[in-house]
Structure 1
Amino acid sequence: MGKKNAERNARLDQLRREQKRKERRRALAIYGTAGGVVLVLLVGIIIYAISDNNAKSRTHQVGYVASASSAATAAGCTGTVNDASQGSTHVATTVDYKSSPPSSGSHNPDPLPDGISFYNPKSNIRIERAVHNLEHGFIVGWYDPSLPTAQVDKLRSLAADAGPRFIGVPWTRGTFPQGKHFVLTAWDRTQRCTTVSADVIKDFVAKHANPDPAGATWDSPTAPESGAQGGTLDVSADGPLAAAQSGSSTATPAPGAGTMSVSPSSPTPAP
């Protein structure tokens, strides 16, 4: 009887050992599979991070061209080009810019004021002042003499609602190349268009203007004076307000953010 009990206990011990081995193998298989999944996910995350960083680095390289949106294509626009920096020296003289129009370069020490969103074709505003605004994170919508009057009027209307960091400025040094008569510039970025488009302006401003005076959200680290404000609003006879009004146009306060648009039929504000 004792021998039988011993044999039975031995078989039970063997069964228990085999059961434990099976459980260990099952656990190893489960943990191994989970570990493999985690490893694959970790590798995927690392690859994505590297790829994302490379993509961001590529989009900031000089010469990179961001594809034109459908609205931009409809307006005859190119993609947005990352331009090489042309410097940022303050000068009081006229600058012979390499690009027509410039997206950076030497400029007048006094930028255009925040209070005017559009300048008339005959305002004779100094281009060098507008370039200084680019350095502060403004968007300049340049229009050349060949842009049709209806398009100029459209730009005047859109400028009033484009936000406090947008300025419409006439280009007085000839026409733009390749039949593009309206050009959007941010600091070191350019998009050339045939016609004026509200959607294109809105998209360009959203991507490249600096909405934060502290400069924290602005995607243009090459600008030395990022986040600075515009110049002061001079209402004297030869100041920027008078320049904006020239050509039989007067100025009215535009809605939002202290901007001022210029329209041909509105009353002049009191100084």
Structure 2
Amino acid sequence: MAKSSKSVKSDRRAVIDQLRKEQKGAERTRGFAIVGVCVLVALLIIGAAAYKPIMDWWDSREVEKLALSDIGSPASVCQDITTKKADGNQNHVPTGTPVEYTIAPPAFGAHWNEAGVAPAPFDRKFYSEEDRPEIESLVHNLEHGYTILWYDETLSDEQVSEIRDMAEKFDDSDDNFRDKFIAAPWTAADEDGASFPEGQHVAFTHWSAGGEGETDVSKQLGAFQYCTAPSGEALQEFMKQYPYFDSPEPGAM
């Protein structure tokens, strides 16, 4: 018996409704999948962005547990300290004027003197090649009692990281003058001056007054120590022997 036209229309509508229902279900599933993928991508992006800060935070926690003397190589990687008669106390040349330093790196000499330029700010303890102040600015820091750790471009990323860790040991927000320390690159290829002695890649320098409270400028000395690799142990001993108050201007920031 043939179905009536009314029955056929009803069946057709049922089929269409079912197709629509299935289509909506598929679209809903597809929408959930798209949202899920977007959420996953967002989480991955957030995770990637957060990874380095988290790892840096974790590494800094590990560094906090270490003494300065435990960072880097043993002191045996460094040569004996040498000294040279110093000059240049209060010898301020106009900012922008190049100064030729005869020793690589310098421990004393003529230097710039301009607020905001020289000396370099107390709160920066580590510089890379991209942001390092000019040598003439850093020599002014030496006059104020800073010890500078200079490192050349041959060091590995791991060794530079060790120097960063050393610098963090002096990152005191209380302006403690005992934290007069800067780590800075020495780039002989970029006309800083001569290269370090053969086989040496790190150097400590300090401008000594010739002893605490000494005011006779004829007794001023430059102190130098060269190392094949970064050594927190050697740095600690160097700064004990040549503290900030043994300098021409220890009371200046």
Separation in structure 2 between the aligned mates of residue 72 and residue 202 of structure 1, nearest angstrom: 9
**Cα separation, 1, equivalents of 2:98 and 2:187:** 13
User: Could you say which residue in structure 1 is the equivalent of 2:84?
Assistant: 83
Distance in 1 (CA, whole Å) between partners of 2:119 and 2:243 is 16
Match of 1:194 in 2: 228
Question: What TM-score, normalized by structure 1, do the two folds share?
Answer: 0.51
Q: Give the equivalent residue in structure 1 for 2:252.
A: 228
1:166 to 158, 161, 181: 181
**2:205/2:224 contact within 8 Å kept:** yes
Q: Is the 8 A contact 2:132 2:184 kept in 1?
A: no
Displacement of 1:85: 0.9
How far does the alpha carbon of each residue in 1:139-159 deviate from its partner, in whole angstroms, 9 at most, with x for none?
000011112221111101111
SS in 2 for 1:97: coil
Q: Distance in 2 between matches of 1:203 and 1:126?
A: 27
1:87 match: secondary structure:
coil
The structure with higher relative contact order (CA 8 Å, sep 6+) is 2
Corresponding residue for residue 140 of structure 2: 132
TM-superposed CA distance for 1:124, in Å, is 4.0
The TM-score normalised by the length of structure 2 is: 0.55
Residue identity (%): 37
Residue 72 (structure 1) aligned to one of 68, 71, 75: 75
How many Å apart are 1:208 and its aligned residue? 1.1
Instruction: Give 1:103's match in structure 2, choosing from 80, 103, 107.
Output: 107
**Number of aligned pairs?**
148
Map Cα deviations across residues 118-154 of structure 1 (whole Å, 9 max, x no partner): 0012224211111111111110000111122211111
Instruction: Give the structure 1 partner of residue 153 of structure 2.
Output: 145
| 2:208 counterpart of 1:176 | no
Q: Residues 68-109 of structure 1, C-alpha deviation per residue, up to 9 Å, x if partnerless? A: xx9422x2x111111121323111211110000011001111
Runs of 4 or more consecutive aligned structure 1 residues displaced over 3 Å after TM superposition:
none
SS of alignment partner, residue 179 of structure 1: coil
Partner of 1:219: 246
2:242 corresponds in structure 1 to 208
Tell me which residue corresponds to 2:7: none
User: What is the CA distance between 1:198 and its match in structure 2?
Assistant: 1.3
Q: Partner amino acid for 2:228?
A: T
Letter in 2 for 1:226: P
| Contact 2:145 2:246 (C-alpha < 8 Å) held by counterparts | no
Question: Mapping of 1:8-23 within 5 angstroms?
Answer: none
Structure 1: distance between partners of 2:232 and 2:162: 9
In the alignment, structure 1 segments of 5+ residues that lack a partner are 1-69, 211-217, 230-271
Tell me if the contact between 2:146 and 2:206 (Cα under 8 Å) persists in the aligned partners. yes
